[in-house]
């Protein structure tokens, strides 16, 4: 089964917030490739990463960005894979990124999770749910997670 996701962040500075998803990815057995690619500063690279993601064996793309937060939308425009947006706090506490992420045109869907740390964790959990559609092991892990109160033991 394909248990690999592509995680894109708009800037290196986003890695602190996104690091909160790693224990959840580990719990679910999801491999991840982490890359920095800005929708505005590296548009061609971002488009290429999204276009090639399915061919590279990814099950989903997780895109985290703040401010204008167009990263997830650009990815969704260039792939058929599920794209999960994590809005990140910047100048307006993440409200600008949330609105940019959620306001997608019809036919170009992006799944948007909450802002910041909780969003990073929820993105990992949502990726597990996408993978679980065709993966019995992932369904078992999600059931185990539910029985743990939907949180990892400290």
Ordered structural domains, the chain, with CATH: 4-147 (3.40.50.1970)
Query: Which pLDDT score is estimated for 153?
Result: 84
Map residue 92 onto helix, strand or coil.
coil
Q: How far is 119 from 108, CA to CA, in rounded Å?
A: 21
Query: Which pLDDT score is estimated for 82?
Result: 98
Q: How far is 27 from 148, CA to CA, in rounded Å?
A: 12
Query: Which pLDDT score is estimated for 91?
Result: 81
pLDDT digits (tens, 9 = 90+) for 10-41: 998 999 999 999 999 999 999 999 999 999 99
Query: Which pLDDT score is estimated for 44?
Result: 96
Kindly give the confidence (pLDDT) of every residue in the chain, 154 residues in length, as a single tens digit, with 9 standing for 90 and above: 689 999 999 998 999 999 999 999 999 999 999 999 999 999 999 999 999 999 999 999 999 998 989 999 999 999 999 999 999 998 889 999 999 999 999 999 999 999 999 999 999 999 999 999 999 999 999 999 999 999 998 7
- How many C-beta atoms surround the C-beta of residue 96 within 10 A? 18
DSSP code of 133? T
């Amino acid at each position: 089964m394909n248990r690999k996701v592509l995680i894109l962040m708009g800037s290196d500075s986003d890695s602190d917030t996104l690091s909160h998803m790693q224990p959840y990815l580990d719990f679910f057995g999801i491999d991840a490739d982490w890359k920095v690619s800005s929708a505005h500063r590296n548009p061609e690279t971002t488009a290429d990463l999204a276009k090639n993601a399915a061919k590279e064996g990814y099950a989903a793309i997780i895109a985290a960005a703040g401010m204008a937060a167009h990263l997830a939308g650009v990815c969704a425009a260039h792939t058929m894979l599920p794209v999960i947006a994590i809005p990140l706090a910047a100048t307006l506490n993440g409200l600008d990124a949330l609105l940019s992420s959620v306001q997608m045109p019809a036919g170009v869907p992006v799944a948007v999770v909450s802002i910041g740390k909780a969003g990073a964790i929820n993105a990992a959990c949502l990726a597990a749910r996408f993978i679980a559609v065709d993966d019995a092991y992932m369904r078992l892990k999600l059931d185990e997670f539910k029985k743990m109160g939907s949180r990892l033991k400290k």
